[in-house]
Amino acid sequence: MSELQHVTDETFQAEVLEADLPVLVDFTAIWCGPCKMVDPIVAELADEWAGQVKVLKIDVDHNPNIPMQYMVMGVPSLLLFRDGEVKERMTGYKPKKHIIAKFSKHF
């Protein structure tokens, strides 16, 4: 499993909004238990969707502007961006099959 790339308030524009591929962003926090449960699922999806979807993480405590801008009220939150817009979002821990079903229709 690959280590996911982290994005910051500063790099979000270039890495997510201007990306050629759809981008799944995992909004997370170190102290969050459900985030730790969803981490391995997101890492697996990053490997399985390689070449189709870019998968990134953002720490909401160290990067408060982007979560505020996209009204992320809880972690973990997964947001799928395509062409600079949010196409789908999911908050809280969900099983892998639910994550795939919700997001895969967008790529």
| Continuous segment of H or E residues that includes residue 27 | strand 23-28
Query: What token pair was written down for 70?
Result: 């996209």
| 32 catalytically annotated | yes
| 56 catalytically annotated | no
Query: What token pair was written down for 79?
Result: 């947001």
Beta bridge partners of 35: none
Residue of 23, 24, 29, 35 with catalytic role: 35
Residue of 7, 16, 25, 32 with catalytic role: 32
Q: Which residues contact 11 (CB under 8 A, 6 or more apart)?
A: none
* Catalytic site positions: 32, 35
